[in-house]
């Protein structure tokens, strides 16, 4: 780093530390100053300023903390300190009051977040009302005893049912024959066989082939 850049970095860090007037590590200054200088430049600047006596250095284990030389600040008497403490207490009370208010508002917002807006509710109603009218019309037809399905559709449903039940019985019989053949040379029970190969029967599922 050139002398001019080093001098500029020292000045920037010094101005910042005097303005803040609080203890900071190199990492704190590096982060708080927007990382414009780079960590190496911050380290060199703070070490140089400490060597010149413009910053005071305190070592806590492996951590170094720097603070502006306090002799450059005007003395503060006890009355001022007391007034500052009172002001801090007042501000803390205000912070607590505002924080409580924020929590209350956040709770209310949470309650309303799951509620439909007026516009959304109107859209929902516009979809529901036609459906209600359709259901009313269907109910009226049922009350009148009107036929809602043709004979052809009804016959088709019954024929399909008969076909599928017949196929169900056929496959159940084939499976039963296969298992009986296996059991002739199987040393355990039928239940144990089903458990070993992971078979679930109709009875296990509480279903049975319709009688008709």
Q: For 160-212, what is each residue's pLDDT tens digit?
A: 999 999 999 999 899 889 988 888 888 888 888 888 888 888 888 888 888 76
Cα separations in angstroms, 61 against 58, 64, 65, 138: 10, 8, 11, 84
**pLDDT at 146 > cutoff 70:** no
Averaged pLDDT for residues 135-156: 80
Is pLDDT larger for residue 42 or for residue 74?
42
Please report the pLDDT score of residue 5 as a whole number.
83
Contact criterion met (CB below 8 Å) for 69 and 54: yes
Round to whole Å and give the CA distance between 94 and 100: 10
**115 token code pair:** 């509620």
Please report the pLDDT score of residue 138 as a whole number.
82
Is pLDDT larger for residue 147 or for residue 95?
95
- 3-state SS assignment for residue 40: helix
Please report the pLDDT score of residue 194 as a whole number.
86
Other C-beta atoms lying within 10 Å of the C-beta of residue 81: 10
**35 token code pair:** 């990382």
Round to whole Å and give the CA distance between 52 and 54: 6
**pLDDT at 41 > cutoff 70:** yes
Please report the pLDDT score of residue 109 as a whole number.
83
The secondary structure of 145-203, three-state, reads CCCCCCHHHHHHHHHHHHHHHHHHHHHHHHHHHHHHHHHCCCCCCHHHHHHHHCCCCCC
Cα R_g (the chain), whole angstroms: 43
Please report the pLDDT score of residue 1 as a whole number.
58
Q: For 108-128, what is each residue's pLDDT tens digit?
A: 888 777 777 788 888 888 889
Q: For 48-91, what is each residue's pLDDT tens digit?
A: 999 999 999 999 888 899 999 888 777 777 788 888 889 999 99
pTM of the model: 0.39
């Amino acid at each position: 780093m050139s002398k001019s850049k080093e001098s500029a970095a020292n000045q920037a860090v010094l101005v910042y530390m005097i303005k803040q007037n609080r203890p900071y590590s190199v990492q704190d200054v590096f982060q708080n100053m927007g990382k414009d200088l780079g960590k190496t430049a911050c380290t060199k600047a703070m070490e140089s300023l400490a060597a010149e006596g413009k910053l005071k250095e305190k070592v806590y284990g492996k951590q170094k903390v720097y603070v502006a030389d306090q002799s450059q600040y005007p003395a503060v008497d006890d009355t001022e300190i007391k007034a500052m403490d009172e002001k801090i207490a007042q501000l803390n009370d205000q912070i607590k009051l505002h924080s409580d208010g924020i929590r209350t508002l956040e709770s209310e917002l949470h309650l309303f977040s799951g509620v439909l807006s007026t516009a959304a509710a109107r859209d929902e109603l516009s979809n529901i009302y036609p459906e209600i009218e359709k259901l009313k019309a269907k109910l009226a037809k049922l009350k009148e005893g009107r036929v809602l399905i043709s004979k052809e559709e009804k016959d088709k449903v019954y024929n399909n049912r008969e076909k599928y039940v017949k196929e169900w019985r056929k496959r159940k019989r084939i499976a039963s024959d296969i298992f009986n053949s296996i059991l002739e040379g199987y040393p355990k029970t039928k239940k144990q066989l089903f458990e070993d190969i992971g078979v679930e029967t109709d009875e296990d599922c509480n279903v049975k082939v319709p009688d008709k």
